[in-house]
Chain A
Amino acid sequence: MATTVIGAGITIEGDLSTDDDVVVQGTLRGKLTARDGVVVEAGGSVEADIASGPAQIAGAVTGNITSTDRVDLQNGAKVVGNVKATRITIADGAQFKGSVDMDV
């Protein structure tokens, strides 16, 4: 299990970079770089630019999301920032403020 998990109640202030998955249940401020997937769970909070593979957002994200794959804004997500991805879904109930950039 090389997955990195930021548990609920934990705050990381700074940069986090990894080649594997990242699951955010707590708070991350700074910068998040993952070669693989990023999951921001409900209750999780990211105040950072995210560069990743597939991203599933169910928590709060303030910052730009750049994904080499797809970005899923799930029900309960609150995203303020621009999203750049090859595919994107915005579920009913997701809050989103920002622009979408897709390679067409």
Chain B
Amino acid sequence: MSNVTVIGEGAVVRGRIQGEGDLAIAGRVEGDVEVSGEIVVEVKGLVAANLTGQRVVVRGAVRGDLVGAESIELDAGARVVGDARAPRIRVAPGALIRGFVTTGPREPGATKSRTAAASAARPAPKPAVAPKKVEAPQSAPAAKKAEPPKPVAKIPAKPAAKSAPARGATIAGARPGPPAPVVPALRKGAKAVHKKRA
């Protein structure tokens, strides 16, 4: 048990964790995790990272992809937003997962991107790779229902448009090439209304 790493409750790690041994996360981890042994995300664990390990057990919350060389287990109370890939995956009742789930033996050209994996699998004439694929559709609706809405960073479009002319002038002065086209932020139909009034 000397090779067990514990991220205690209240601890925050921002960065990469890698190496040989097991890992238990009861705190927060932001950054990728890649260990040779077992990864356990405890009930109070909060992970915003991709987790790669021999066995991945989730009882807390994970935002990121899970890759298990042997297995992935999502216990009751687990919240996962991300893809899961392992030869064996267990999703307990009460666990939430939103993402692409792939079981079966590891495909040689398997990538993290689901679109790339799908397009690669489609043109193959032999169903050699396909039948092993098992998905867990029953958990998907529950995940959608119970998953709290994630705070989406809104892009402040309006202030940028207002300050665009001034910024464009400075850029034009600094650059030798032609200035960036500055499009006045006019509402659609604003000119027409103006003409009509005139």
CB within 8 Å of B: which residues of A?
Answer: 1-22, 25-27, 30
Q: Enumerate chain B residues within 8 angstroms of A7, measured Cβ to Cβ.
A: 2-6, 21-23
The answer to the question of B118 belonging to the interface, with a C-beta cut-off of 8 Å to chain A, is: no
Decide: B20 and A9 in contact? CB cutoff 8 A. Answer: yes
Q: Enumerate chain A residues within 8 angstroms of B17, measured Cβ to Cβ.
A: 10-13
Instruction: Give the dominant DSSP class at A's interface.
Output: strand
A2 to B27: give the CA distance in the assembly, Å.
9
Q: Per-position contact with A for B1-34: 1 when CB-CB < 8 Å, else 0? A: 0111111111111111111111100110001000
Q: Enumerate chain A residues within 8 angstroms of B5, measured Cβ to Cβ.
A: 5-7, 10, 26
Q: Enumerate chain B residues within 8 angstroms of A2, measured Cβ to Cβ.
A: 8-11, 26
CB distance from B23 to the nearest CB of A (A): 7
Contact sample, A vs B, 8 pairs, CB 8 Å cutoff: A6-B5, A8-B2, A8-B3, A16-B15, A18-B8, A19-B11, A20-B10, A30-B15
A55 to B125: give the CA distance in the assembly, Å.
63
Known A-B contacts A7-B21, A25-B2; the reply to A14 vs B8 at CB < 8 A is no
CB within 8 Å of A: which residues of B?
Answer: 2-23, 26-27, 31, 35
Q: Enumerate chain A residues within 8 angstroms of B12, measured Cβ to Cβ.
A: 15-18
CB distance from B172 to the nearest CB of A (A): 41
Decide: B18 and A11 in contact? CB cutoff 8 A. Answer: yes
**Which of B9, B11, B19 contacts A26, CB < 8 Å?**
B19
Decide: A1 and B14 in contact? CB cutoff 8 A. Answer: no
Decide: B21 and A10 in contact? CB cutoff 8 A. Answer: yes
A11 to B3: give the CA distance in the assembly, Å.
12
**Which of B2, B7, B16 contacts A13, CB < 8 Å?**
B16
Residue of B nearest to A34 (CB): B11
Q: Enumerate chain A residues within 8 angstroms of B15, measured Cβ to Cβ.
A: 12-16, 30
Nearest first, the 8 A-B pairs at minimum CB distance are A14-B15, A18-B11, A9-B20, A7-B5, A10-B19, A4-B8, A2-B8, A5-B6
A18 to B12: give the CA distance in the assembly, Å.
6
Q: Enumerate chain A residues within 8 angstroms of B35, measured Cβ to Cβ.
A: 10
